[in-house]
A and B are shown apart, each in its own frame.
Chain A
Amino acid sequence: MAIALERSAVVPQRAKRHRIWRGLGDALTYLGLATALVFFLGPFFWILTTSLKGNEDFFAFPPVWIPAEPSLKHYVGLFTRSSGARYFTNSMVISTLSMISALVVSLPTAYSIARWRFGGGLLSIFLLVLRMLPAIALIIPIYIVYRTLGITNNYLGLVVVYTVLYIPFAVWLLVGFLRDFPLEIEEAAMIDGCSRLRALAQVIVPIIAPGMAVVALFSFIATWNEFLFAIVLTGIETKTMMVLVTSFTSGGTDMFYGEASASVVLGVLPAFAVAFMLQRYLVKGLALGGTKG
């Protein structure tokens, strides 16, 4: 930048032209981004307003872009008639538990890989194959195992599956964070008499906490979004939000239009929350591996 300024001082005419181009470029940049924002956020806007409309507004023409009298009755309907509260709570509980357990299980593994190169290149191959595998190849055998153990329709069952599905990605991210961690600090702690596990828990964890938060939030979202396992491995007490949404997709869609859109709004809330919380880490984290388990 300094060089550019110096040069523009020498050749003022060129600098002026440069500035015009630059201004135009900025304008186009923001215009382009604004267009992108409209495209990528438009559907959310439509769903939100639909969920707040009265039944008579769905089919109105010209369309009701913003309801004059927003009403929450579809949300009320969702929570009273369709046990929306139960589904929402289930999703929350399962996602939170999976998030915690994914972290707890992945951290030592990542440590083992980062410090001692445990497993060599196996991790990346495993990661690749796991990513290729359609869920349907796993679902029936897992179901059969679970049936034998009696943990279908149980938080534990889903939490275990989600934890495992998320381990490779979590480990991959955590290895990155741990490799950057200065060995000297860890050694100092161990010289002071810390065991390795305590050094991990009390010295390393607090320092890489922001990185762990990134891993945790991505895991939360990935779990929240999953639905095929959620249909097969759950029962009446453990159904999740995604299952509720798909139960609106056929048959009575027309009659429960408002409630269907309300359920979508609730279903995408965590994505918004996580995106805002992770603003600065998105590029670093999501770029490494994606959120779709």
Chain B
Amino acid sequence: MRIPALALKRKQWEPFAFASPAMVLIAFVIVFPLAYSFYLSFQNFDLSVGPEHEFVGLKNYTEGIFRDPRFLGSVWNTAVIIAPSLVLELLLGLGIAMLLSRVLHGRPIITALLAIPAMVSPVMAAMAWRMMFGVKYGAINNLGRQLGILDVYFDWFSSPFISIVAVVLVEVWHNTPFMMLVLLAGLQSIPQELYEAARVDGANPWQRFWSITLPLLKFTMVVGVMIRLIDLTKLFGLIFVLTYGGPGGSTETVAFTTYLAGFKDFRMSYAAALSYVIVGGVLILTLLFFWMQRVREARAA
């Protein structure tokens, strides 16, 4: 095969020139502000005090990590919301993707319809669900009453436990479609010949699922879960509209507490420090995840 050399040949400056518009913009809107907010995280910039601020060393970081029970509580809340959401999104997403892969007619349109929640903003999703959950005039309670299974006055935010259930429900509604699409892509990339060969060997559907689908889908599942995990650590819009962190602080996530520190307490430096604590935590979590993955693969080999 002939290698088309001309298309690959380049002048020294060309790769840079082509990438430069994006690089300049990124430097301007991301790199510089990041550096600046990193600098701010060592200051005591407080909007209600004024524009002046001074160096306070690691004070913001030590306060966030050791002296702020509310922030530490929100780390726990975030975990409590993330764990069931991830499991449910994965299971439901896989289930729906497998159903979809069986469908021969109208698959694109059904996929599109099912995908819509994932394309709606968290704020919109939460607004819609607020009207679904509403005591007395919400759709769920009214439907429940007509079916005779729910009191129309059932309060979806009456206790920390039930509120977390409600938040997880909305989160699952919002992002299962994303998981479904990822897994559907994964399913479609599995060669059909494998299934046919298995069928010839007399494998039943259950065996085919365990020995072909699951192993080959593992990588896609890991990627999907990883992306959702990272996104869930930023869970904010949903909480903002649906519960505002309540009742009590039971649904306050790390992103929400950070928002409160910055936008309600006006402590911009502290909020910046908290964001870096979060990014650090997520980074460690991600690396741990990849490391575990690698160890397991090594063991399997």
Q: Contact residues of A with B, CB < 8 Å? A: 1, 3-4, 25-26, 29-30, 32-33, 36-37, 39-44, 46-47, 50, 58-59, 61-63, 104-106, 108-109, 111-113, 115-116, 118-119, 128-138, 140-142, 144-145, 160-161, 163-165, 167, 171, 183-184, 186-187, 190-191, 196, 221, 224-228, 242, 245-246, 248-249, 260-261, 264, 267-268, 271-272, 274-276, 278-280, 282-284, 286-287, 289-292
* Residues of chain B contacted by A271 (CB below 8 angstroms): 116, 119-120
Task: Check B114 against A46 for contact (C-beta < 8 Å).
Answer: no
Residue of A at shortest CB range from B276? A137
Task: Check A116 against B14 for contact (C-beta < 8 Å).
Answer: yes
Q: How far is the CB of A1 from chain B (nearest CB, A)?
A: 8
* Residues of chain B contacted by A272 (CB below 8 angstroms): 116
Q: State the 7 A-B residue pairs at the shortest beta-carbon distance, nearest first.
A: A225-B121, A141-B33, A137-B275, A112-B18, A287-B185, A279-B108, A271-B119
Residues A58 and B7 in contact in the complex (CB < 8 Å), given A32-B99, A33-B100, A43-B128: no
Task: Check A142 against B22 for contact (C-beta < 8 Å).
Answer: no
* Cα–Cα, bound, A104→B152 (Å): 53
* B91 CB–A CB distance under 8 Å: no
Task: Check B6 against A61 for contact (C-beta < 8 Å).
Answer: no
Task: Check A286 against B178 for contact (C-beta < 8 Å).
Answer: yes
* Residues of chain A contacted by B103 (CB below 8 angstroms): 29-30, 33
Q: Is the interface of A mostly helix, strand, loop or mixed?
A: helix
Q: How far is the CB of B182 from chain A (nearest CB, A)?
A: 4
Task: Check A290 against B96 for contact (C-beta < 8 Å).
Answer: no
Counting chain B CB atoms within 10 Å of each CB, the highest count among A36, A105, A187, A196 belongs to A36
The stretch among B60-68, B130-138, B155-163, B208-216 that forms the contact with chain A is B130-138
Task: Check A132 against B272 for contact (C-beta < 8 Å).
Answer: no
* Cα–Cα, bound, A186→B146 (Å): 65
* Cα–Cα, bound, A108→B17 (Å): 9
Partner of A276, one of B10, B112, B237: B112
Q: How far is the CB of A91 from chain B (nearest CB, A)?
A: 11
Residues A40 and B119 in contact in the complex (CB < 8 Å), given A32-B99, A113-B19: no
* Residues of chain A contacted by B117 (CB below 8 angstroms): 40
* Cα–Cα, bound, A171→B227 (Å): 17
Residue of A at shortest CB range from B187? A283
Partner of A283, one of B23, B34, B37, B185: B185
* Residues of chain B contacted by A47 (CB below 8 angstroms): 127-128, 131
What mask results when residues 130 to 171 of chain B are scored 1 for a CB within 8 Å of chain A, else 0?
Answer: 011000110100100010000010000000000000000000
The stretch among B69-77, B79-87, B277-285, B291-299 that forms the contact with chain A is B277-285
* Cα–Cα, bound, A57→B25 (Å): 51
Task: Check B121 against A40 for contact (C-beta < 8 Å).
Answer: no
Task: Check A284 against B185 for contact (C-beta < 8 Å).
Answer: yes
Residue of A at shortest CB range from B226? A128
* Residues of chain A contacted by B100 (CB below 8 angstroms): 33
Residues A145 and B112 in contact in the complex (CB < 8 Å), given A106-B22, A132-B283, A187-B4: no
* Residues of chain A contacted by B178 (CB below 8 angstroms): 286, 290-291
Partner of A40, one of B8, B25, B177: B177
Q: How far is the CB of B39 from chain A (nearest CB, A)?
A: 9
Q: How far is the CB of B25 from chain A (nearest CB, A)?
A: 5
Task: Check A132 against B230 for contact (C-beta < 8 Å).
Answer: yes
Task: Check B113 against A40 for contact (C-beta < 8 Å).
Answer: yes
* B42 CB–A CB distance under 8 Å: no
* Cα–Cα, bound, A220→B89 (Å): 25
Q: How far is the CB of A69 from chain B (nearest CB, A)?
A: 19
* Residues of chain A contacted by B265 (CB below 8 angstroms): none
Task: Check B136 against A59 for contact (C-beta < 8 Å).
Answer: yes
* B194 CB–A CB distance under 8 Å: no
Q: How far is the CB of A8 from chain B (nearest CB, A)?
A: 11
Counting chain A CB atoms within 10 Å of each CB, the highest count among B28, B186, B200, B233 belongs to B28
Q: A62-B146, A112-B14 are in contact. List 10 more A-B contacts (CB 8 A).
A: A40-B114, A47-B127, A58-B137, A63-B139, A108-B19, A115-B7, A136-B259, A137-B279, A271-B119, A291-B118
Partner of A183, one of B4, B18, B236, B240: B4
Task: Check A32 against B95 for contact (C-beta < 8 Å).
Answer: yes
Partner of A224, one of B26, B121, B237: B121
